Chain A
Amino acid sequence: MNNQLEKDLVISVKDVSKKFCRDLKRSLFYGIQDIASEIIGKPRQSEELRSQEFWALKDVSFQLKKGDALGLVGANGAGKSTLLRIISGLINPDTGVINVTGRVAPLIALGAGFNPILTGRENIYANMSILGLSKQEIDKNFDSVVDFAEIWDAIEAPVQTYSSGMSARLGFACAIHIEPEILLVDEVLSVGDIKFKMKCHRRLAKLQEKGTAFILVSHNSHSILNICNKAIYLKQGQLIMSGEAEAVVNKYEEDLAFSEGKDGRSKAIMRLREKPSHESSGLDITSIFFRDEQGNILETPLSGKPAYLCVECQANQHFEDINVGVKIRAILGEQDVVLYLTSNNDSCLLEITPGKTEIQLQMSQLGLSPGRYTARIYLRQGVRSFDIIESFRFIVETSEIMSRCLFYQPRNWQTIKLD
């Protein structure tokens, strides 16, 4: 049993750390130092930080079996890409051991070695040999690469004449046809149109059935949940949680909600600390929340019911022509903007007097379907920006059945007698 487990293991990462340096000059100098100690075989004390270094990854461990799909979530700079680069052997770890069994295809490398002057055909050969295929293997796969990328007509044209979607498709097609044991996918599924995306997902699923193991990096919880059965959550280089994809993604999203706003529980009330005078622009958002039509604070607005989005602000002088913008995105799902409302577009420029003011976006029937949302809210005057709240998170619930509706449709049913 244990032996079988060992045998199916394709990646085992144990206590891996990596440090980086933010200062370029110093970083280059450290590089030279490291090279020197590597060559003379002196231990380079990699487990200790030198001045201005920080841990980009710290004591990360996990294992990946054949056919596993592991999602890697975390904010920018959490160490996701660093981890992938260590696994693909591009850079040495500073502590720990990594065991990799089988061919690794890094989808971080879409279109590596593409030369814009050369034709699609020539680039397929160059790119796939970089990814480790022999001439015969490329010959064998060539047609299906072209088919997959859907560039039949353009195959003899220079790649510089391709649209960005076409070259992304070609890169993806090349990488996916090397049939690796391990596929590292870094945010690349966000290229191409929806049709191509679906095709990629299908292809990934097929590879997975064949036993290919994946590591998928994405900011999109939706695609992680779609593809991955396991996930790990990195935060500033630390492994926060690993396990079932759903639980990990939930934890990650919860943390996101927590990190923004001082007391951003799942309740939709965001209070901001008062800005010191040197940071203030004269007009600051102090809190954001919902009210119902009676003026009571709403913790979770309901679809179809009245919801007033309130932006409380503090002004130190008189302002005219203030434009308030609200851009709402769904958190799960394709992360697309579902609503973008500005008072300016509604020909409604606001006047704000010194002191506290509450700006209300009054929605008499909230059209959002149930789910988690994040709103980006700004105050502007022409092109001058006063304050921006990057993410105000809230949950919309419903009191009725809305499972197959994309949005709330205000409606009435009636029968009219015709004769």
Chain B
Amino acid sequence: MNNQQLTKVVYTPESKIKRPLLLFRLMWRDLLASKELAWQLMIRDIKAQYRQSFLGVLWAFLPPIFMAVGFTLAGESNVISVGKTTIPYPAYVMFSTALWQTFIESLNGPIQAVVSAKPMLARVNFPREAIILSKLGEVGFNFCIKLILIFGLFIWFKVPVSWTIILAPVALIHLVVLGTFIGVLLAPLGVLYQDVSKGVNMLSTFWLFLTPVVYPIPTEGIFSILVKFNPVTPLLVTIRELATTGILTQVTGFWIVSAIAFLGLLITWIVFRLAMPYVIERISA
């Protein structure tokens, strides 16, 4: 044991934001340090999840399929009237639902991660970034499974594909960043108050309704304004367009929302770090 190599830590009551350089350095260090832990935790969670499930990966396929079946039948019997979509309607619904699910998973991920890691957080001082990263990894894993469905779908419905599909994953990352931004922002509060997870559950249903998942982008009425100002709209629509037609209609919105999401994520990361000790203090006092 060499004293020079030992890490020295100082704990004081002073707000850490007063020494931003140190704060950024620690954030960078913890991010690097949490890679491996995040990987281990992700493996642990995925394994545990599938070992306790009979249907296993089917759960990734079922929601989009049910959604598509429901809305296609409703559309055929004219219960609801959806406009013309650029690709066959069932494929449209399934593909969009898969994207929407990925967004919601990345939003819920940080909140769930922090809540379920409560006992661990209260006892061990490990880089807190790890649990968020591990959830992100899970979101990625789940999306990879959904990719199988999407591939099958595109082949079955003979959906025309544009070369821009190779850019779609980049846009997808932007969508995940937006979800993570909101999730990390709410996570510390979510540990203290159960209202947060309840509220998120309720609002996400409403939010789905405002997002062009089961219908194409509306062009008139108050509803169209709501849908237009929904930050998920430009991201989701752009991914869909990149993967199919290759003609982009929401470029400006896409970049504005992306900028907000990335900047927001950086800021909420700082907030998350600063808030966690106070949250932990309250959960296990």
Please choose the segment from B39-47, B63-71, B81-89, B208-216 that sits at the chain A interface, where 4 or more of its residues have CB less than 8 A away: B39-47
Q: Which B residues touch A339, using CB under 8 A?
A: none
- The answer, among B13, B15, B189, for a CB contact under 8 Å with A42, is B15
Please choose the segment from A124-132, A216-224, A234-242, A411-419 that sits at the chain B interface, where 4 or more of its residues have CB less than 8 A away: A124-132
Number of chain B residues close to chain A: CB under 8 A: 48
B1 touches A93 (CB 8 A): no
Q: A31-B192, A38-B15, A38-B278 are in contact. Are A90 and B123 (CB under 8 A)?
A: yes
Q: Which B residues touch A211, using CB under 8 A?
A: 1
Q: Does A295 contact B (CB under 8 A)?
A: no
- The answer, among B7, B40, B270, B279, for a CB contact under 8 Å with A103, is B7
Q: Does B282 contact A (CB under 8 A)?
A: yes
Q: Does B51 contact A (CB under 8 A)?
A: yes
Q: Mark A75-111, 1 if CB is under 8 A from B, else 0.
A: 0000000000010111111111111111110101100
The docked-state distance in angstroms from the alpha carbon of A355 to that of B122 is 54
Q: Which A residues touch B36, using CB under 8 A?
A: 129, 134-135
Write the residues of chain B forming the contact surface with A, with a CB cutoff of 8 angstroms. 1, 3, 6-13, 15-18, 36-37, 40-41, 43-44, 47-48, 51-52, 117, 119-126, 188-189, 192-193, 270-271, 274-275, 277-282, 285
Q: Does A256 contact B (CB under 8 A)?
A: no
Q: Which B residues touch A131, using CB under 8 A?
A: 124, 126
Main secondary structure of the interface of B (DSSP, over half): helix
Place the interface of chain A in its size category: 35 or more
Q: Which B residues touch A88, using CB under 8 A?
A: 124-125
Q: How far is the CB of A231 from chain B (nearest CB, A)?
A: 23
Q: Does A112 contact B (CB under 8 A)?
A: yes
Main secondary structure of the interface of A (DSSP, over half): mixed
A101 touches B7 (CB 8 A): yes
A20 touches B285 (CB 8 A): yes
Q: Does A39 contact B (CB under 8 A)?
A: yes
Write the residues of chain A forming the contact surface with B, with a CB cutoff of 8 angstroms. 7, 20-21, 27-28, 30-32, 34-35, 37-44, 46-47, 86, 88-104, 106, 108-109, 112-113, 115, 117-118, 122-123, 125-126, 129-132, 134-135, 181, 210-211
Chain B: CB-nearest residue to A66: B1
Q: Which A residues touch B48, using CB under 8 A?
A: 115, 117-118
A98 touches B278 (CB 8 A): no
Q: Which A residues touch B275, using CB under 8 A?
A: 35, 38-39
Q: How far is the CB of B18 from chain A (nearest CB, A)?
A: 5
Q: How far is the CB of A125 from chain B (nearest CB, A)?
A: 6
Q: Which A residues touch B51, using CB under 8 A?
A: 117-118
Q: How far is the CB of B34 from chain A (nearest CB, A)?
A: 10
B13 touches A46 (CB 8 A): yes
Q: A37-B15, A86-B11, A90-B125 are in contact. Are A31 and B3 (CB under 8 A)?
A: no
Q: A35-B274, A101-B6, A125-B40 are in contact. List 9 more A-B contacts (CB 8 A).
A: A20-B285, A38-B275, A86-B11, A89-B9, A101-B8, A102-B7, A117-B48, A122-B43, A130-B126
Q: How far is the CB of B273 from chain A (nearest CB, A)?
A: 10
The docked-state distance in angstroms from the alpha carbon of A134 to that of B38 is 11
Q: A93-B12, A118-B44 are in contact. Are A7 and B3 (CB under 8 A)?
A: yes
Which of B6, B11, B17, B120 gathers the greatest number of chain A CB atoms within 10 Å? B11
Which of A90, A118, A135 gathers the greatest number of chain B CB atoms within 10 Å? A90
B277 touches A91 (CB 8 A): yes
Chain A: CB-nearest residue to B192: A28
Q: Which B residues touch A125, using CB under 8 A?
A: 40, 44
The docked-state distance in angstroms from the alpha carbon of A129 to that of B193 is 29
- The answer, among A31, A39, A95, A122, for a CB contact under 8 Å with B282, is A31
- The answer, among B10, B123, B188, for a CB contact under 8 Å with A109, is B123
Chain A: CB-nearest residue to B275: A35
B125 touches A38 (CB 8 A): no
B126 touches A92 (CB 8 A): no
Chain B: CB-nearest residue to A10: B6
Q: Which B residues touch A91, using CB under 8 A?
A: 277-278, 280-281
